[in-house]
Structure 1
Amino acid sequence: MPEITIVRHDAQETRAVDAGTKLWELFRETPDVVAARVGGELRDLSREVEDGSSVEGVSIDSPDGLDILRHSTAHVMAQAVQDLYPDAKLGIGPPIRDGFYYDFDVATPFTPEDLEKIETRMRKIVKEGQRFDRRVTSDAEAIDELQHEPYKIELIGLKGGAGVEDAAEGASVEVGAGELTIYDNVRRDGEVAWSDLCRGPHLPTTKRIPAFKLMRSAAAYWRGDEKNPQLQRLYGTAWPSKEALADHLHRIEEAEKRDHRRLGRELDLYSFPDEIGSGLPVFHPRGGVIKRVMEDYVRRRHIEEGFEYVGTPHISKEQTFRLSGHLPYYADGMFPPMAMEGANYYLKAMNCPMHNLIYRSRGRSYRELPLRLFEFGHVYRNEKSGVIHGLTRVRGFAQDDSHSYVTKEQAPGEIKHLLDFVLGLLRDFGLDDFYLEMSTRDDSKPDKFVGDDAQWAEATEVLERVCRESGLELVPDPGGAAFYGPKVSVQARDAIGRTWQMSTIQYDFNQPVGFDLTYQAADGTRQQPVMIHSAKFGSIERFVGVLVEHYAGAFPPWLAPVQVQAIPIAERHADYLYDVARRLKARGLRVEVDDSDDRMQKKIRNAQLQKVPFMVIAGDDDVEAGAVSFRYRDGRQDNQVPVAEAIERVAAAVDAREQV
């Protein structure tokens, strides 16, 4: 009789079971389990238990369970499409964050009306309770069965080769190395309703899909290559309950209201002129205020934390980036070179090589370490046009970039210093919900990383130890390291629960070698320093975009482009408010007087739309009393507030960096 170990949370139970027992039989009493992890491998519940295996149930609301739910829903969507449009050819259909998609080759692009029909058909399939049945096949058998699906046949040709991983996002979900499998959607009478080449696993039946919705359609090149045919991609979302789906749709609605691109236009903060080029934003005066306040604040904080401010040019000769290793390891991320005076010059994609040259400009002693260099360096990345998105993914941006040069012994303390500094800065700007992500190298692709195993192990251990000592959740990111060393990134959740990658701290044992950086140790020998990269905001542009969405444009007073809007009730009150404005400006506060011909209520409405934190309103009685009506952004208003008190209210809110 086979024996298995069932893993439940922190407990384990060894149990003898009958031969031929199915996995679903182990989880009869736990209806939220939709799959199982057997010896580390995800499997359908219809698979048989294996002797000596360790089995753990996968609940539908776990990360793996959500992926299985969404991938199963993608299959239902593909079945519905081919039911309605029999000539549609299948691409791939992986789960993605918060949803799924499937690519189709169809003669005519899908319309919103088509999506409604497809969703209606999907509901019928779900209601039928079709089983997801797995069967193993051979390459030849699959090609014969799927001869009408050219894209699936192409994937079979990629099976087991390096190409399958690069085929497209999620292609490995469709076919992977090892066994080739097909999943049949089987009706209750045993008839196969639809089949798809897939690695799985899937839900037991379509009835286990509680809530879903199709979201939109878009064009997408097969395997992400513009030389390939353009397919139609249908996006959808699926959740473990109708309530969870409703919450997700509400978050999407809220995110649309907070979209920093729209708010940037409405609040006149920045723009993206086509004449300049894609991914190259310009800041308008009001957006420039936010950017300047951020930069001034973070510059001061860096100096307080022991950093020295430096400046470096936007371009450099090719050799600089060869010494750093960015050529060839990061060449695809850099703009093409410019030939000049017999040399190739590159726009810099990072500041670290030039900081290394500053370090190397003279001899260094151990007494100078840690040596901390910092600048707002403008860098340029050759991002693909398809990934550029407002301020959050650009081609030109400023980094609050720092590099600490330390001894190996100093490295843990410096990483802790940087992590504490980073978290404190983010809290200052209103972000206080974090976790950490640890990015390590991909051992299966050694040619993409420099350094030996011992260096990587040491660097990874130091970063991981400091992260765990912070008490924050630490999430692994295998393969996400930079080519020169592992990194930790701070993931911050915004006001509506979305996660943004913010600050990064990277341990670099490579560049000091390339630039021959040394210091004289206490014993008189020359030693190599460790270099630690850190960007607190990541990029100023991206951080502005995140803050715009976090605050929905209603910045706290200390960051608001206009802190006070002065509103005269009639034209005769304008001079009085201009005098109040001079007194506010004398306190370093940002104020504007609305002396337009609009009626007072329209002026108040305009200030509300511009999300100005405070308004001071004056009429005859206010002028006579030397006072103003003091109005808050939320509509509260105090009448007959003495001007001096009104100024102090604003100044106190700004100094306290409070949200109103």
Structure 2
Amino acid sequence: MPEIQVTVVAADSKAERTVATGTKAWELFADSPEVIAARVDEVLRDLSHELADGSVVEGVAIDSADGRDILRHSTAHVLAQAVQDLFPDARLGIGPPVENGFYYDFDVETPFVPEDLARIETRMRKIVKEGQKFSRRAVSDAEALDELADEPYKIELIGLKGSGHAEGAAEGASVEVGAGELTIYDNLDRRGERAWKDLCRGPHLPTTKRIPAFKLMRSAAAYWRGDEKNKQLQRIYGTAWESKEALEEHLHRIEEAERRDHRKLGRDLDLFSFPDELGSGLAVFHPKGGVIKRVMEDYVRQRHIDEGFQYVGTPHITKEGLFHTSGHLPYFEDTMFPPMEMEGARYFLKAMNCPMHNLIYRSRGRSYRELPLRLFEFGTVYRFEKSGVVHGLTRVRGLTQDDSHSYCMPEQAADEVKHLLGFVLGLLRDFGLDDFYLELSTKDESKDKFMGSDEQWESATRILEEAAAETGLELVPDPGGAAFYGPKISVQARDAIGRTWQMSTIQYDFNQPAGFDLEYQSADGSRQQPVMIHSAKFGSLERFYGVLVEHYAGAFPPWLAPVQVQGIPIAERHNDYLYDVAKRLQAAGIRVEVDDSDDRMQKKIRNAQLQKVPFMLIAGDDDMASGAVSFRYRDGHQENGVPVEEAIARVAEAIATRAQV
């Protein structure tokens, strides 16, 4: 039998192998049950793919990123098959893998209810147990149109493929229709007969039995291809994992995330709200929430001053010409609130602060001796986020940035970036976020998306990359993710349950100084153009706030807690004593409340625990007699007979050291 040569790639090795012509990828990995697909010449393929001479082949494990995507997409197909088994009139939309799961869209007459999902999941388990084979076959456009004549949404996708627009048709549409040949996957039963089929470019698992663990999560309405002008379909979300243990861990993370949801905690702890009268994505902070907000602002304001920044202030509205000068309007107008017509001019609510800081810089002549010139403000900006993405404090339409801009000579830029990066990382650690990595966003090949020369981009990118490398942190590339005016470093922080949040940013800008004709007089008397470096330490105060609520599950460290001490009198006769203690705490700058309600002591303790107060000072007859209190911690640990002065000192030390208690 004729033979061919292939290269098998493993984690740390490559090996040349001679195999028979017609060998399938699965034959190379028969002893590796975790392999569910193959990467052949850098293209993901089914294990049934026939290898060619010279192929470079790498196994794809089910617990890898690509492996999970294939598992989830295959599970989405099982979901669609189950739906059409139970609801024969259901028409198919698309069913891609997404982060931590998958979904499939259906056109059905009646929206799905929880009881439907239970039935569908039961049917899916039967399909999985049957071990149906995923079988790929190439078809012509005409054949696909004929076979899928009863599926109008698939017909539309085939038409989009023919017009060259399939990749942008919808999220996941490229999973259904590739740019080249069309393929249909048949689900074959044990007799080899077709049980179901779907238009898809794959790859898939070998059989449904390779789906170890899955669960349907919920259903929701979704517009076809994400366009509100199109018909509203029903979307079923699910999740699938490489083991039952991994699924259980994921479900536990979801449960923990729900417990920490800042929107719920914001209500329960009376921190903030989103009144309908104001509009979507516009928050108000209540007194207790306002304490946290003020502490955050006071901290970051003083840190900026300590780091050499000067505090400035700018208005919320400007004539549109300013954003033409800065270059923002062509790129950002679709995310800005509509303009207002006044006195023959158009005005915009500002969506960014940097153009106004440029006007401050330009207000008088500047010398090289002033540089770096560092300007900072709490600037509230407004961005018209679509209603579908507005989410509590983490995605709002009115947000406050601790926005700063450093104007420096080009030769100072590298040191300034390092200075800013050190500032950012120190701030995150002070707030209890100490697990992070960096992301470097650069330009891609898009010609109309970025301003400036290739040389400017290369120089700026190198400066950011070198500064990031000095931190010793992981640096992840993000090609194409830069702002139009220059590359940026983003700090990606992991919270207490391992979720990643984009926090602070540092952006290099060589375009706005040119647009605003910013200059400084150099040592030789010539006029030179400065470099501008944007940085936001919180990023958005609202978003940072929401992340902190979830990171701490509302149990803030004492220095951030709105109420740091709760006084709990055992009986009414102990009220005055604890009010005197409270005055001494207040004199030491400690935030304290006394619960003088008619509730029993245990109810008062329970209320303080529900409000996640760090410390409770309990007083009864013996405490009054000895000038002491019972000192109770948030975790329930309690020490009796603690002298008042010692109790005050303990609280003050915990606040001063930003202790996590």
TM-score by length of 1: 0.97
In the alignment, the residues of structure 1 paired with residue 148 and residue 76 of structure 2 have an alpha-carbon distance, to the nearest angstrom, of 19
In the alignment, the residues of structure 2 paired with residue 278 and residue 454 of structure 1 have an alpha-carbon distance, to the nearest angstrom, of 43
Q: What amino acid does structure 2 have at the position aligned with 1:461?
A: R
What is aligned with 1:136? Answer: 138
Q: How does 1:406-425 map to 2 (within 5 A)?
A: 406-425=408-427
**Cα deviation code 1:357-410 (max 9, x no counterpart):** 111112222232222211110010000001111111100010111112223332
In the alignment, the residues of structure 2 paired with residue 50 and residue 365 of structure 1 have an alpha-carbon distance, to the nearest angstrom, of 67
Q: 1:50 to 1:458 in 2, by over 3 A?
A: farther
What is aligned with 2:477? Answer: 476
**Cα deviation code 1:192-249 (max 9, x no counterpart):** 1111111211111111111000000000011111110000000000001000000000
1:329 corresponds to which of 316, 328, 331: 331
Q: 1:46 to 1:523 in 2, by over 3 A?
A: farther
Secondary structure, counterpart of 1:13 in structure 2 = strand
In the alignment, the residues of structure 2 paired with residue 486 and residue 139 of structure 1 have an alpha-carbon distance, to the nearest angstrom, of 43
The reply on whether 1:79 has 2:85 as its aligned counterpart is no
What is aligned with 1:517? Answer: 518
Shift of 1:161: 5.2
What is aligned with 2:436? Answer: 434
Shift of 1:250: 0.6
| Comparing 178-187 and 316-325, the one that deviates more | 178-187
Q: What amino acid does structure 2 have at the position aligned with 1:105?
A: D
Shift of 1:420: 1.8
In the alignment, the residues of structure 1 paired with residue 14 and residue 467 of structure 2 have an alpha-carbon distance, to the nearest angstrom, of 31
Q: What amino acid does structure 2 have at the position aligned with 1:600?
A: M
In the alignment, the residues of structure 2 paired with residue 591 and residue 162 of structure 1 have an alpha-carbon distance, to the nearest angstrom, of 66
Secondary structure, counterpart of 2:563 in structure 1 = coil
In the alignment, the residues of structure 1 paired with residue 481 and residue 164 of structure 2 have an alpha-carbon distance, to the nearest angstrom, of 18
Structure 1 consecutive aligned stretches of length 4 or more whose deviation exceeds 4 Å: none
The reply on whether 1:633 has 2:603 as its aligned counterpart is no
What is aligned with 1:544? Answer: 545
What is aligned with 2:246? Answer: 244
Q: 1:441 to 1:195 in 2, by over 3 A?
A: farther
CA contact (8 A) 1:160 1:178 kept: no
Q: How does 1:264-283 map to 2 (within 5 A)?
A: 264-283=266-285
Q: 1:416 to 1:606 in 2, by over 3 A?
A: same
In the alignment, the residues of structure 1 paired with residue 195 and residue 468 of structure 2 have an alpha-carbon distance, to the nearest angstrom, of 51
Secondary structure, counterpart of 1:49 in structure 2 = coil
Shift of 1:529: 2.0
| Comparing 159-168 and 459-468, the one that deviates more | 159-168
What is aligned with 1:293? Answer: 295
What is aligned with 1:497? Answer: 498
What is aligned with 2:449? Answer: 448
Q: How does 1:79-228 map to 2 (within 5 A)?
A: 79-159=81-161, 163-228=165-230
Secondary structure, counterpart of 1:448 in structure 2 = coil
Shift of 1:587: 0.6
In the alignment, the residues of structure 2 paired with residue 328 and residue 406 of structure 1 have an alpha-carbon distance, to the nearest angstrom, of 27
| Comparing 517-526 and 535-544, the one that deviates more | 517-526
Shift of 1:583: 0.5
CA contact (8 A) 2:164 2:179 kept: no
Q: 1:184 to 1:343 in 2, by over 3 A?
A: same
What is aligned with 2:384? Answer: 382
TM-score by length of 2: 0.97
Shift of 1:123: 0.7
In the alignment, the residues of structure 1 paired with residue 477 and residue 348 of structure 2 have an alpha-carbon distance, to the nearest angstrom, of 34
What is aligned with 1:579? Answer: 580
In the alignment, the residues of structure 2 paired with residue 196 and residue 464 of structure 1 have an alpha-carbon distance, to the nearest angstrom, of 45
Secondary structure, counterpart of 2:448 in structure 1 = helix
CA contact (8 A) 1:160 1:176 kept: no
In the alignment, the residues of structure 2 paired with residue 191 and residue 114 of structure 1 have an alpha-carbon distance, to the nearest angstrom, of 27
Q: What amino acid does structure 2 have at the position aligned with 1:144?
A: D
| RMSD over equivalenced CA pairs, Å | 1.5
Q: 1:252 to 1:645 in 2, by over 3 A?
A: same
In the alignment, the residues of structure 2 paired with residue 469 and residue 15 of structure 1 have an alpha-carbon distance, to the nearest angstrom, of 43
Shift of 1:421: 1.5
Q: What amino acid does structure 1 have at the position aligned with 2:454?
A: D
CA contact (8 A) 1:334 1:382 kept: yes
**Cα deviation code 1:319-366 (max 9, x no counterpart):** 111111111111111000011111111001111111111111122222
Q: What amino acid does structure 1 have at the position aligned with 2:522?
A: A
| Comparing 111-120 and 5-14, the one that deviates more | 5-14
| Comparing 554-563 and 339-348, the one that deviates more | 339-348
In the alignment, the residues of structure 2 paired with residue 361 and residue 179 of structure 1 have an alpha-carbon distance, to the nearest angstrom, of 61
Shift of 1:162: 6.3
| Comparing 275-284 and 451-460, the one that deviates more | 451-460
1:54 corresponds to which of 38, 53, 56: 56
CA contact (8 A) 2:167 2:179 kept: no
Secondary structure, counterpart of 1:385 in structure 2 = coil
In the alignment, the residues of structure 1 paired with residue 533 and residue 182 of structure 2 have an alpha-carbon distance, to the nearest angstrom, of 45
Q: 1:410 to 1:10 in 2, by over 3 A?
A: farther
| Comparing 208-217 and 159-168, the one that deviates more | 159-168
**Cα deviation code 1:115-147 (max 9, x no counterpart):** 011111111111111121222222222111111
In the alignment, the residues of structure 1 paired with residue 83 and residue 540 of structure 2 have an alpha-carbon distance, to the nearest angstrom, of 42
Shift of 1:467: 2.3
What is aligned with 1:646? Answer: 647
Q: What amino acid does structure 2 have at the position aligned with 1:638?
A: E
Show structure 2 runs of 5+ residues with no match.
Answer: none
In the alignment, the residues of structure 2 paired with residue 91 and residue 565 of structure 1 have an alpha-carbon distance, to the nearest angstrom, of 56
In the alignment, the residues of structure 1 paired with residue 625 and residue 492 of structure 2 have an alpha-carbon distance, to the nearest angstrom, of 54
| Count of aligned residue pairs for this structure pair | 659
What is aligned with 1:555? Answer: 556
Q: 1:377 to 1:50 in 2, by over 3 A?
A: same
Secondary structure, counterpart of 1:409 in structure 2 = helix
Q: What amino acid does structure 2 have at the position aligned with 1:280?
A: L
**Cα deviation code 1:550-607 (max 9, x no counterpart):** 1110000000000000111111211111111111011110000111111111111110
Q: What amino acid does structure 2 have at the position aligned with 1:569?
A: I
In the alignment, the residues of structure 1 paired with residue 164 and residue 408 of structure 2 have an alpha-carbon distance, to the nearest angstrom, of 39
CA contact (8 A) 1:272 1:278 kept: yes
In the alignment, the residues of structure 2 paired with residue 442 and residue 131 of structure 1 have an alpha-carbon distance, to the nearest angstrom, of 40
In the alignment, the residues of structure 2 paired with residue 526 and residue 17 of structure 1 have an alpha-carbon distance, to the nearest angstrom, of 70
What is aligned with 2:404? Answer: 402
Show structure 1 runs of 5+ residues with no match.
Answer: none
What is aligned with 2:235? Answer: 233
CA contact (8 A) 2:35 2:59 kept: yes
Shift of 1:20: 1.5
In the alignment, the residues of structure 1 paired with residue 99 and residue 342 of structure 2 have an alpha-carbon distance, to the nearest angstrom, of 45
Q: 1:160 to 1:401 in 2, by over 3 A?
A: farther
Q: 1:565 to 1:297 in 2, by over 3 A?
A: same
| Comparing 74-83 and 165-174, the one that deviates more | 165-174
In the alignment, the residues of structure 2 paired with residue 138 and residue 543 of structure 1 have an alpha-carbon distance, to the nearest angstrom, of 52
2:28 corresponds to which of 26, 29, 52: 26
**Cα deviation code 1:151-194 (max 9, x no counterpart):** 11111122265643432222221113122222111222111111
Shift of 1:440: 2.6
In the alignment, the residues of structure 2 paired with residue 52 and residue 452 of structure 1 have an alpha-carbon distance, to the nearest angstrom, of 41
In the alignment, the residues of structure 2 paired with residue 134 and residue 418 of structure 1 have an alpha-carbon distance, to the nearest angstrom, of 53
Q: 1:205 to 1:461 in 2, by over 3 A?
A: farther
CA contact (8 A) 1:8 1:57 kept: yes
In the alignment, the residues of structure 1 paired with residue 487 and residue 185 of structure 2 have an alpha-carbon distance, to the nearest angstrom, of 39
Q: What amino acid does structure 2 have at the position aligned with 1:47?
A: H
CA contact (8 A) 1:211 1:245 kept: yes
Q: 1:203 to 1:623 in 2, by over 3 A?
A: same
In the alignment, the residues of structure 2 paired with residue 648 and residue 175 of structure 1 have an alpha-carbon distance, to the nearest angstrom, of 67
Secondary structure, counterpart of 2:20 in structure 1 = coil
